[in-house]
């Protein structure tokens, strides 16, 4: 009798026999790194870890790296260990996702190379949102190899476009994005504007938040993008293209012609200079300074357009 009770107790306590739905509910409270770890406990746990509800989004900003290795310039730092670790984590997480991932957010301060991007692309055929980091080592060839797998991509966030025409041509050729966020720590000029208009003319939402924007580029966007519904230029620095370029902030400085054009949009996001602390920090001793470098991590995750926040 005692042996029978002992056997029954053992069966109840066998982790491998836990109800699948209960396991999934428990695993929903874990971050993706913990899900990877518990997937090795047993086959039934591994099966529960592959449930699509756990893999709607992969946020790699949860990864922690040595802060002293965080680069300030693209050419100053390369960490092979971090690169290898990221590739290993990507493969483990995407193996469990079984191709169901719809949103992929890369780590803000980590170099991303062709291997990382292609590894992700080959395992995420249903991806709808892609967020690339501030610094990266991706080549045009590597980007094309990756992006051709993302025919369903709808939202693209990129910190800086080195080759605007080539990058936007690839995005326009293989994807059908309706939302784009470009965060340029340097300047968003007519070249960038022409690339966006040429290859993503049906864009619905465009965010240039915290970017230095040429007014001529803004005019070009408004003239050519007839399907644009939402434009976010909050916390932007505006450049007046003249012989002596002048920097200005806020709605009041855009000029009557631009203000008249944006009135057709469903939503136009811009901040009044005198009421925005972030914009005020863009001026130091009367000189223009990049808001990007002062608020980069906040900019990275938050946007006044809710669908572009993550």
Domains of the chain: 1-55 (no CATH), 56-308 (3.80.10.10)
Q: So what's the pLDDT on residue 198?
A: 93
pLDDT tens digits, one per residue of 169-199:
999 999 999 999 987 656 788 888 999 999 9
238 CB-near residues (< 8 Å, 6+ apart): 212, 213, 214, 215, 218, 247, 248, 249, 253, 254
∠ CA 11-12-16, rounded to 5°: 75
Per-residue confidence band for 145, with pLDDT thresholds at 50, 70 and 90 = very high
Distance CA 126, CA 9 (A): 44
Could you identify the residue written with the tokens 């369903």? 152
DSSP-derived letter for residue 255 is: -
CB 254 within 8 A of CB 215: yes
- Say what the pTM is: 0.83
Average pLDDT, rounded, for the chain? 81
* Residue 37 pLDDT exceeds 90: yes
**3-class secondary-structure state, position 161:** coil
Q: So what's the pLDDT on residue 73?
A: 44
From 248, 247, 252, 182, select the one nearest 221 (Cα to Cα). Answer: 182
pLDDT tens digits, one per residue of 215-250:
888 889 999 999 999 999 888 878 877 655 555 555
Distance from CA of residue 218 to its chain's centroid?
22
* Residue 93 pLDDT exceeds 90: yes
């Amino acid at each position: 009798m005692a042996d029978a009770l002992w056997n029954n107790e053992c069966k109840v306590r066998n982790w491998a026999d836990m109800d699948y739905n209960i396991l999934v509910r428990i695993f929903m409270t874990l971050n993706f790194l913990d899900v990877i770890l518990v997937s090795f406990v047993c086959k039934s746990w591994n099966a529960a870890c592959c449930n699509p509800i756990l893999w709607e989004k992969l946020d790699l900003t949860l990864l922690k790296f040595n802060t002293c290795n965080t680069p300030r310039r693209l050419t100053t730092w390369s960490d092979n260990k971090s690169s290898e670790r990221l590739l290993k984590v990507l493969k483990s997480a995407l193996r469990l996702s079984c191709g169901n991932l719809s949103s992929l957010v890369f780590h803000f301060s980590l170099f991303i190379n062709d291997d990382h991007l292609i590894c992700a692309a080959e395992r995420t055929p249903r991806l709808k949102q892609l967020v690339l980091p501030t610094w990266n080592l991706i080549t045009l060839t590597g980007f094309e190899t990756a992006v051709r797998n993302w025919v369903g991509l709808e939202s693209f966030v990129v910190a800086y476009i080195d080759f605007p025409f080539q990058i936007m041509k690839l995005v326009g050729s293989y994807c059908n994005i309706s939302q784009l966020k470009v965060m340029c720590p340097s300047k968003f000029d007519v070249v960038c504007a022409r690339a966006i208009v040429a290859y993503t003319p049906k864009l619905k939402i465009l965010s240039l938040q915290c970017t230095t924007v040429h007014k001529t580029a803004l005019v070009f966007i408004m003239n050519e993008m007839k399907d644009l519904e939402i434009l976010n230029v909050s916390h932007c620095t505006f450049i007046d293209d003249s012989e002596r370029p002048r920097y200005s902030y806020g709605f009041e400085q855009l000029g009557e012609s631009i203000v008249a054009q944006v009135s057709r949009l469903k939503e136009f996001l811009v901040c009044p200079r005198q009421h925005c602390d972030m914009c005020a920090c863009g001026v130091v001793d009367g000189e223009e300074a990049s808001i990007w470098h002062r608020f980069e991590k906040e900019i990275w995750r938050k946007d006044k357009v809710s669908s572009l926040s993550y």
